[in-house]
Amino acid sequence: MFKIEQDKQGTLLLSGRFDASREESAMKCFNLVEKSTEIDCSQLEYISSAGIGVLIATQKRLMQNNQQLILKNLNPHIVEIFKYAGLDAVFTIK
Amino acid sequence: MNERAFKRSLNSLEALFDFLNEFLTGHGIAGKSALELQLALEEVFANSVEHNNASAGDITVALEKTENAITLRIRDFDVEDFDVSKPPDVNTRAPLRERRAGGLGLHLIHTIMDQVGYAHENRISTITLVKYLK
């Protein structure tokens, strides 16, 4: 189960498991993001390179207009995976 | 060794995770090690689905626990030779504009697994992933 929801402040809430089977539907959702947006990962249990690819592609697109994704509330295991992938260098992680 | 065949589809991932997690739970393995084994298995399986799409056969996954390690063995049939045992050239400190989509999954596999083995014989690939239990 993987879900993307948006709260009233515009924060995107990711929950569940972001694996390769969710890449296509998630990309459609992230393609709608046009300005700097916080991504609340407190309920994100798992992410693979497919999910990371969606975040990187979105970040690349947004940064062309000086906008960005801001990742927050990641669990420690996912922070570690992000560091292995070098995402700590290209995302603001709160 | 526990072994099961999975259809060549990303829709198999849920069943694949269930198979692995049931095995890991049975051996009292959770947390970081479990997450990393899930991740490595998904990366190998998803690569097979994406790159070996000329093959129609199932992909088999075997799981084994020894005293100090978990071994995952993924076999794919009627496929081309693609050696995954060497880490890819991925620069994870490169600026965003220079990041490429390819290679990240294999880079993660090599980072989180203790051994990555590969064999290709009679058009059958066998990828062996070993995670030491600390």
ipTM: 0.93
Please state the separation of Cα A83 from the chain's center in Å. Answer: 14
Min Cα–Cα distance to chain B from A17, Å? 10
At residue B97, the pLDDT reads: 82
CB pair distance less than 8 Å for B13 and A19:
yes
pLDDT tens-digit series, residues B45-95: 999 999 887 888 999 999 999 999 999 999 999 999 999 998 888 888 888
pLDDT tens-digit series, residues B15-25: 999 999 999 99
Written as tens digits, the pLDDT of chain A (94 aa) is 899 999 999 999 999 999 999 999 999 999 999 999 999 999 999 999 999 999 999 999 999 999 999 999 999 999 999 999 988 889 999 8
The domain total for chain A is 1
- What token pair was written down for B123? 């058009």
- Residue range of the domain that includes A86: 2-93
Spell B13-31 as b/e; 16+ CB within 10 A means b: beebbebbeebbeeeebee
Average pLDDT, chain B: 93
How many A×B Cβ pairs under 8 Å?
A: 68
CB pair distance less than 8 Å for A50 and B46:
yes
Min Cα–Cα distance to chain A from B39, Å? 6
Residue B94, chain A, CB below 8 Å: the answer is yes
d(CA B56, CA B43) in angstroms, rounded, equals 19
Nearest CA in chain A to B13: A21
Q: What is the CATH number of the domain that holds A74?
A: 3.30.750.24
Residue B133, chain A, CB below 8 Å: the answer is no
Find residue B73's DSSP bridge partners. Answer: B62, B128
| Higher per-residue pLDDT: B78 or B102 | B78
Domains in chain B and their CATH numbers? 2-132 (3.30.565.10)
